[in-house]
Amino acid sequence: MLKVGIIGVGAMGTQHFLRLMNKINGATVVAVSDINEARAKEVIAPYEGVRYFADPYALINDPEVDAIVIVSIDSTHEEYCLEAIRLKKYIFCEKPLSASAEGAKKVVDAEIAGGKRLIQMGFNRRFDPAYEELKELVVSGKLGEPLVAHCAHRNANYPPQYDDVIAVTGTAIHEIDTMSWLVGDYFTKAQVIFPKTTRHSKNKNLHDPQIVMLTTSSGMVVSCEIWVNCQYAYDIRCEVLCEDGTATLPRPKRVDVCTAQTHYTGMTTDGLGYFAEAYDREFQAWADACNADTYCAAAASAWDGYCAAVTTDSCLKSQKSGAIEPVPLTDRPDFYKG
């Protein structure tokens, strides 16, 4: 049984805690740390034997803890990863790997120096059945070479703290990792375009929506619309244009309603619920891999986290310059192949 310590039990961390406690085979949570002690204690209260740690480093170092789940604020991910790597403990790290590409590189270098792949990144869409189906079709070559993709990532609304930086490092990063995984290529150029902003943006430092334009090393172009105050629902779209046809991400199955001369299908505003199956599958895969003392090849690695961070750094530069910025990435090192 894998004994897990979780750092961060906000909305997503709490769901990860409950998932590991109730749904995932071969894993259980034995320790939790959070800056909000009252909240953490409330989350663990119904479960016997889960200890609270005020100090996340004490949790990482605790001999009872085999593996760490990092769901704390973005700026802390790098330091906790480095500490867990030092102790050779398995890590599930929510995105981003680090707040900067430079920081992400330090984590990758530490993992390579330790000689063992320990990090699984929480890019959950790699475990979403709809995305899996789309990828399978695109890479099968049945539709020819992919040329262009159009993606949309829409959240219903966000509180005022949400700004242009988070739009890239918290939201666009999903499209960046997903599309690079889907077409098996990395990005070489990035540009962010600001259309007219919605009146629903609550922060003067948030342009909403924004369009992230990415070019892969083979010349494919991916447009990602990031719109975090769209009001109507949580909505994720992706269409890939290939030489001999197009492939579109299926929408989640919902009841189809006819009433009062109207025909509609319901939607949700809950992003965590929308991808619940993907979260379940990624955690089961992580637990299975840790228990087998290996890494999950289907999941995003620290290298993928690094690639995403390099790409988001270029997007942040472009938000300021308005220009097409280079994405300084190289081929995947052997350590991260397979």
Q: Least distance in Å: CB of 64 to ligand ISE? A: 29
Closest to ligand ISE by CB, 7 or 50 = 7
Rounding to the nearest 10 degrees, give the CA dihedral for residues 73, 76, 82, 83. Answer: -90
Tell whether residue 155 is a contact of ligand ISE (CB under 6 A). Answer: yes
209 binds ligand ISE (CB under 6 A): no
Q: Which stretch binds ligand ISE (CB under 6 A): 170-178, 262-270, 297-305, 330-338?
A: 170-178
305 lines the binding site for ligand ISE (CB under 6 A): no
* 229 contributes a contact to ligand ISE by CB under 6 A: no
Residue 305 in tokens: 């986290």
Hey, what amino acid is at 115? G
Strands (E), 65-145: 67-70, 90-93, 119-121
Count the neighbouring beta carbons within 10 Å of the beta carbon of residue 51. Answer: 16
Residue 180 binding ligand ISE, by CB under 6 A: no
Tell me: does residue 271 bind ligand ISE (CB under 6 A).
yes
Q: Is residue 98 near ligand ISE by the rule CB under 6 A?
A: no
Residue 13 engages ligand ISE in binding (rule: CB under 6 A)? no
Tell whether residue 56 is a contact of ligand ISE (CB under 6 A): no
Edge-to-edge, what's the strand order for the sheet holding 146-154?
245-248, 235-242, 146-154, 221-227, 210-216, 187-193, 325-326
Nearest to 61 by CA among 84, 44, 31: 84
Tell me which of 33, 72, 171, 215 binds ligand ISE, using CB under 6 A. 171
Quick check: bond before 96 cis, omega within 30?
yes
Cβ at position 228, least distance to ligand ISE in Å: 6
- Nearby residues of 262 by Cβ (< 8 Å), 6 or more positions away: none
Interface with ligand ISE by CB under 6 A: which residues? Answer: 155, 170-171, 174, 228, 271
